[in-house]
Homo-oligomer: A and B are copies of this chain.
Amino acid sequence: MEDVAKLAGVTKMTVSRALHQPSKVAEATRERIEWAIGQTGFVANLNAGSLSSQKTRIIAALVPTFQHAVFAETIQGISDVIRPRGFHLLVADTQHSQREEHDLVQAFLARRPEALVLTGIRHSAATRNVLMRARIPIVETWETTGQPIDMAVGISNFDAAVAMVRSLHAAGYRRIGFVNGRLANNERVQLRAKGYEAALAELDMGPPVEVVIEQEPVRIEHGERALAELLAIEPGIDAVFCANDIFAAGVLIESRRRSISVPDRLGIAGFHDLDIARLTTPQLTTVKVPAYDIGRLSAQMVVDRLDGKPAAGPTIELDFSILRRGSTR
């Protein structure tokens, strides 16, 4: 910057102003500075600026994995809001591990981001501890059940599962099985299981019939196997609710293989409304979660807070919707 300043016949300070508050620099001076920047190929060092101004213009986000379309949507939502405001996005995946999450939170805080967006509302005590001390806006996303550290944006996975079971019941299904993904450190799927169980009890539909698929990443084949396991446990099931569309697609494939007619003899429901949900035959009944909006609103809360605007609330609970399609009556 010194070089640019000399070339333009001013001091660093004026160059800095020309860059950040151009209106406070005389037209002619600014032009000389711009010319000098072009000559030298100068690219300001934001780190130095951050150190001095105590503003990093960085927002950090943690997702369980990049490979799941719904989290990619959430990242897109965050990015779309913060980009126009000059924030940069630092991201990492926790791989559903609380230990990774803790290490990452710690490591990210060392970069002094101006805000942090996390996935889920359950974190290790140590993580919560570090987070509370951080004194920056923190948004927990995707799940709203529980005490947020600061702010939260999401849906109630519990309610969503209850709603789906009720919907299946209303369609006449009476013995509903449930296929879930790995529960460890994933409160979203844990809550879906609880919702399923609660709804069964409420509607007096007998004991839960559940299969948990531990393998990651989630694959269609696991859904195929899940139906076999479910039928082994309870041959009388007439519907299967899956914690994600991939499993549901697998259940559908296995049903076809076994010549079980869908949706008549077996109803199938998924979760997320991924692309594949509309691609199967019949199309999948599923729960649509506003993943993009979760990201968008999280970022919005953050930037509003940083702008000193009044908060939209500590927690924003978004609507999910039950999409009834051909895989259920």
Contact = CB atoms under 8 A, between A and B. Distances in A.
Interface in A163-200: none
A24 interface: no
A133 B275 contact: no
A59 to B, nearest CB: 11
A261 interface: no
Contacts of A67: 69, 72-73, 76
Nearest to A86: B107
Interface in A39-56: 41, 43-48, 50-51, 56
A233 to B, nearest CB: 26
Residue from the set A73, A107, A278, A279 with the largest chain B CB neighbour count within 10 Å: A279
Nearest to A49: B110
B88 A89 contact: no
Contacts of A88: 90, 92, 107-108, 111
Contacts of A51: 45, 47-48, 51
Contacts of A278: 220
Residue from the set A44, A47, A246 with the largest chain B CB neighbour count within 10 Å: A47
A75 interface: yes
B66 A75 contact: yes
Name the prevailing secondary structure of the A interface residues: helix
A249 interface: yes
A109 interface: yes
A255 interface: no
A237 interface: no
A106 interface: yes
A228 to B, nearest CB: 18
A276 interface: yes
A124 interface: no
A102 to B, nearest CB: 13
A30 interface: no
A7 to B, nearest CB: 17
Interface in A131-182: 133
Interface in A226-258: 246, 249, 253
Contacts of A130: 41, 43
Contacts of A83: 92
Contacts of A44: 110
Contact of A275 (B41, B76, B220): B220
16 contacts: A41-B130, A41-B133, A43-B109, A43-B110, A47-B51, A47-B111, A48-B51, A51-B51, A69-B69, A79-B92, A88-B90, A89-B91, A220-B278, A220-B279, A276-B276, A281-B281
Given A48-B51, A76-B93, 13 more contacts: A41-B130, A43-B109, A44-B110, A45-B51, A46-B110, A47-B50, A47-B56, A47-B111, A51-B51, A65-B76, A246-B275, A275-B276, A279-B279
